[in-house]
């Protein structure tokens, strides 16, 4: 649609940042020209555990080298954190950990000198066997929520069950691999620190760096105008960011540090592996009597991170007896972190494949089984959801897919030589928001500024801010300028957890409403205005003009009002806080996804031919960007099901496919037809916009739908992803692969 016309929330406004991105005008964090800039190169550990001694003698003599920073000479961070490996001591906790930093005049000189740094190790035994760590595993929490939650009598429910499923499902370690690697430019001016950082949370970077270096928060300025993908790995402060600031302070000049692709496999997080033991009990009519979902996942030796894979089991189905158990296993690997739909992506794979297995054990249609256990209210609290239309998602998606034409028996559908399979799954993700602030400013030049200290990580915040401000003010988006990505702007939360839209856009809406009301108040109190003396409620603001509702002849442009009053802008800053207490109203998004695959019976290759998905995610703020987010999540789900895995040499704990040639992700040729849509029912209990986030729900359930379709096609149940050809050909009993271990 044209951006010269007035707009409504929900319209498919094209990305306002699209042109600068495709023309190269958009500046990413590593692209800012800073006078006197030096270049840094990390030196990474080659051992997973022990102590390291660095010999930098030869490197220090190399051309252009300004400094080689090691544990022996590194600036001592005033408030260090154990989770950050920033050269404060010689301890090594994982392979590919930063153990030195070379700073040089050019990037090439830094690279060359880094190769001259020698490492010697006093090795200690490393923990690298995941299954061997189960006996010493321990419970933890995820964002303050206990990993262990149970209700009812699970043992009793399983005892009375007429049909049971008791299986193990596994998922491997995944690395994020955004197109833009982690990148930081750090510059000190006295005790003031300026950072250009590729991040999902500029205010979080500011808070953390001020704490680590013991300086006031106001002395840290962070800029990130565009983030070239993050998916969770850029949501935290990692060691490289602190090292860039440390190096800039130590050499007394600006320093740029950009991670190379192999350096992203270790020090900046990953999705941990999971071992999920799922037990379902049901009556012969398909009613669930009990669910037990026990998850083991890996964490590091320096920090706990819980992959809450059991979370979706607690909200998806009506069952009186549920137990979810989460355990952490310490390994000599880098700390895991949030990866798109953390926990829910891996957890829905397990519970939704288990539900498919239950449907086959009952000789019941998989969709009918889910409808028989539809949760009208939250299974734990018994409280109604803030809004839920999953039943309609099932209906629309199954109709669009043609599910009623499915032949139930495995290996019963073919297209020539290809085995055809149809599978489905339920999708879910929590609806949340956080406090946020935004500014709207009406300018004498006729333009309108909307600003917030949020981030553009590819999800469309520039566009959504423009759309919401324009819609509230009744103006064309072509006169609205969106500004974000600077800590000098009103503070906003992290861009993660599908929370940005539900957090930032209500603040934008409130700021636009307040600015409009200020303008109207100024007009009706201005004796030179044709609107003077009118009640404020009789004045409306549309298409850049104030007009009287009761008299079409009384109107004027907002620019005229500003000019008569000293050309002073009118602005409003709004601060919004979550209006929903999660304890009062469980808030979740849901969806239904159906997949068709074709499997070559000779080679075991699987192609996803088409996917149909329908989502209930509250109000859609922009249909075009939302569709892109749904599709992007589904593509990630295809990768989870069929391709993505980080392979390790478990003798040394080092990733062996730490590059984009060997770390397989879906490309265009891997993706068939994707048909996505949304119910579009506002959830005003969560926020004033009525929106819940859409960025992550697309990956949840997708891998299960594909795995279930593969079973329908082949009759072979694969419980460990990715589903590679070797698991589908020959005499391999893929069900027994659940006994695998790493190490």
Same domain, 189 and 53: yes
Instruction: Tell me if 160 is assigned to some domain.
Output: no
Report whether pLDDT(743) > 50.
no
Instruction: Give the H or E element holding residue 90.
Output: none
Same domain, 530 and 624: no
Same domain, 116 and 68: yes
pLDDT of residue 341: 98
Same domain, 358 and 407: yes
Same domain, 66 and 188: yes
Q: What is the mean pLDDT of residues 459-478?
A: 97
Instruction: Tell me if 135 is assigned to some domain.
Output: no
pLDDT of residue 142: 86
Q: Are 589 and 615 in contact (CB under 8 A)?
A: yes
Q: How many domains does the chain have?
A: 3
Angstrom distance (rounded) from CA 514 to CA 399: 45
pLDDT of residue 623: 98
Domain span at residue 206 reads: 32-125+179-229+234-264
Angstrom distance (rounded) from CA 588 to CA 692: 8
pLDDT of residue 583: 84
What does pTM read for this prediction?
Answer: 0.96
Q: What is the pLDDT of residues 701-735, one digit of tens each?
A: 999 999 999 999 999 999 999 999 999 997 444 44
Calculate the CA dihedral of residues 198, 202, 479, 444 and round it to 10 degrees. Answer: -130
pLDDT of residue 742: 33
pLDDT of residue 94: 98
CATH number of the domain where residue 337 is located = 3.30.365.10
Report strand pairing: 606-616 vs 671-678: parallel
Same domain, 297 and 223: no
Same domain, 280 and 406: yes
Report whether pLDDT(2) > 80.
no
Q: Tell me which of 307, 596, 644, 696 is the catalytic residue.
A: 696
Q: Are 675 and 590 in contact (CB under 8 A)?
A: no
Q: What is the pLDDT of residues 327-372, one digit of tens each?
A: 999 999 999 999 999 999 999 999 999 999 999 999 999 999 999 9
Same domain, 300 and 206: no
Same domain, 249 and 389: no
Q: Are 396 and 332 in contact (CB under 8 A)?
A: no
Report whether pLDDT(647) > 50.
yes
Report whether pLDDT(291) > 80.
yes
Instruction: Tell me if 144 is assigned to some domain.
Output: no
Q: What is the mean pLDDT of residues 37-65?
A: 98
Q: Are 233 and 269 in contact (CB under 8 A)?
A: yes
Nearest to 464 by CA among 473, 476, 456: 456
Report whether pLDDT(300) > 70.
yes
Instruction: Tell me if 4 is assigned to some domain.
Output: no
Q: What is the pLDDT of residues 141-189, one digit of tens each?
A: 988 889 999 999 999 999 999 999 999 999 999 999 999 999 999 999 9
Least confident range from 91-100, 185-194, 574-583, 631-640: namely: 574-583
Instruction: Tell me if 146 is assigned to some domain.
Output: no
pLDDT of residue 4: 65
Q: What is the mean pLDDT of residues 734-743?
A: 36
Instruction: Tell me if 37 is assigned to some domain.
Output: yes
Instruction: Tell me if 110 is assigned to some domain.
Output: yes
Active site residue 409: no
Give me the percent of the chain exceeding a pLDDT of 90.
Answer: 95
Q: What is the mean pLDDT of residues 439-445?
A: 98
Same domain, 716 and 606: yes
> What is the average pLDDT value for the chain, to the nearest integer?
96
Report whether pLDDT(287) > 50.
yes
Same domain, 593 and 560: no
Angstrom distance (rounded) from CA 186 to CA 195: 5
Instruction: Tell me if 603 is assigned to some domain.
Output: yes
Give me the percent of the chain exceeding a pLDDT of 70.
Answer: 98
Angstrom distance (rounded) from CA 354 to CA 362: 12
Q: Per-residue confidence at 3, pLDDT binned at 50, 70, 90?
A: low
Q: Per-residue confidence at 388, pLDDT binned at 50, 70, 90?
A: very high
Same domain, 309 and 421: yes
């Amino acid at each position: 649609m044209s951006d010269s016309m007035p707009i409504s929330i929900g319209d498919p406004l094209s990305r306002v940042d699209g042109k600068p991105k495709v023309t190269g005008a958009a500046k990413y964090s590593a692209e800012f020209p800073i006078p006197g800039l030096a270049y840094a190169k990390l030196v990474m550990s080659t051992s997973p555990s022990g102590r390291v001694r660095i010999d930098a003698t030869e490197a220090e003599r190399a051309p252009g080298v300004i400094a080689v920073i090691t544990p022996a000479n590194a600036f001592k961070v005033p408030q260090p954190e154990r989770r950050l490996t920033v050269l404060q001591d010689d301890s090594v906790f994982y392979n590919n950990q930063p153990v030195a930093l070379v700073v040089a005049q050019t990037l090439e000189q830094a690279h060359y000198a880094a190769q001259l740094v020698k490492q010697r190790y006093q090795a200690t035994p490393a923990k690298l066997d995941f299954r061997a760590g189960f006996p010493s595993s321990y419970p933890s929490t995820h964002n303050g929520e206990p990993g262990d939650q149970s209700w009812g009598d699970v043992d009793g429910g399983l005892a009375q069950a007429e049909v049971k499923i008791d299986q193990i499902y596994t998922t491997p370690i995944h690395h994020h691999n955004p197109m833009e690697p982690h990148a930081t430019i750090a510059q000190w001016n006295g005790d003031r620190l300026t950072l250009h950082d590729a991040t999902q949370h500029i205010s979080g970077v500011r808070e953390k760096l001020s704490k680590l270096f013991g300086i006031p928060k106001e002395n840290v300025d962070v800029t990130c105008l565009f983030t070239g993908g993050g998916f969770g790995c850029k949501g935290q402060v990692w060691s490289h960011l602190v090292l860039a600031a440390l190096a800039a302070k130590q050499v007394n000049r600006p320093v740029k540090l950009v991670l190379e692709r192999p350096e992203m496999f270790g020090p900046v997080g990953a999705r941990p592996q999971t071992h999920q033991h799922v037990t379902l009990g049901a009556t012969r009519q398909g009613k669930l009597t009990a669910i037990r979902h026990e998850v083991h996942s890996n964490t590091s030796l320096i920090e706990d991170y819980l992959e809450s894979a059991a979370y979706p089991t607690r909200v998806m189905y009506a069952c009186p007896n549920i137990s979810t158990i989460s355990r952490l296993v310490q390994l000599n690997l880098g700390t895991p972190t949030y990866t798109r739909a953390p926990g829910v992506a891996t957890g829905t794979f397990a519970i939704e494949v288990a539900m498919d297995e239950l449907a086959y054990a009952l000789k019941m249609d998989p969709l009918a089984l889910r409808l028989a256990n539809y949760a009208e209210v939250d299974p734990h609290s018994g409280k109604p959801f803030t809004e839920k239309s999953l039943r309609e998602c099932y209906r629309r998606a199954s109709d669009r897919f043609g599910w009623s034409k499915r032949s139930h028996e495995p290996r019963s559908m073919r297209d020539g030589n290809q085995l055809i399979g149809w599978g489905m799954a339920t999708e879910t993700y929590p609806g949340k928001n956080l406090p946020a602030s935004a500014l709207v400013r009406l300018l004498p030049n006729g333009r309108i500024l909307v600003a917030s200290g949020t981030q553009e990580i590819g999800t469309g915040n520039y566009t959504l801010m423009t759309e919401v401000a324009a819609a509230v003010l009744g103006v064309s988006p072509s006169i609205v300028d969106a500004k974000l990505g600077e800590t000098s702007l009103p503070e906003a939360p992290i861009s993660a957890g599908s929370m940005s839209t539900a957090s930032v856009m209500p603040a934008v809406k409130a700021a636009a409403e307040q600015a409009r009301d200020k303008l109207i108040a100024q007009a009706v109190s201005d004796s030179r205005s044709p609107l003077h003396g009118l009640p404020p409620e009789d004045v409306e603001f549309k298409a850049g003009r104030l007009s009287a509702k009761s008299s079409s002849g009384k109107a004027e442009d907002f620019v005229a009002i500003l000019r008569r009053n000293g050309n002073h802008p009118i602005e409003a800053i709004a601060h919004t806080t979550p209006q929903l207490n999660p304890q009062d109203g469980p808030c979740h998004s849901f969806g239904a996804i159906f997949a068709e695959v074709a499997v070559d019976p000779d080679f075991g290759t699987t192609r996803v031919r088409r996917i149909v998905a329908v989502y209930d995610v509250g109000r859609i703020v922009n249909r075009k960007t939302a569709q892109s987010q749904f599709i992007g999540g589904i593509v990630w789900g295809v990768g989870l099901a069929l391709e993505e895995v980080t392979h390790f040499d478990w003798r040394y704990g080092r990733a062996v496919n730490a590059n984009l040639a060997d770390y397989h992700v879906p490309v265009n040729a891997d993706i068939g037809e994707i048909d996505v849509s949304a119910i579009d029912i506002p959830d005003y209990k969560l926020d004033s916009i009525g929106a819940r986030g859409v960025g992550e729900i697309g990956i949840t359930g997708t891998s299960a739908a594909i795995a279930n379709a593969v079973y329908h096609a082949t009759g072979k149940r694969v419980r460990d992803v990715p589903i590679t050809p070797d698991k589908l050909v020959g005499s391999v009993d893929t069900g027994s692969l659940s006994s695998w271990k790493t190490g």
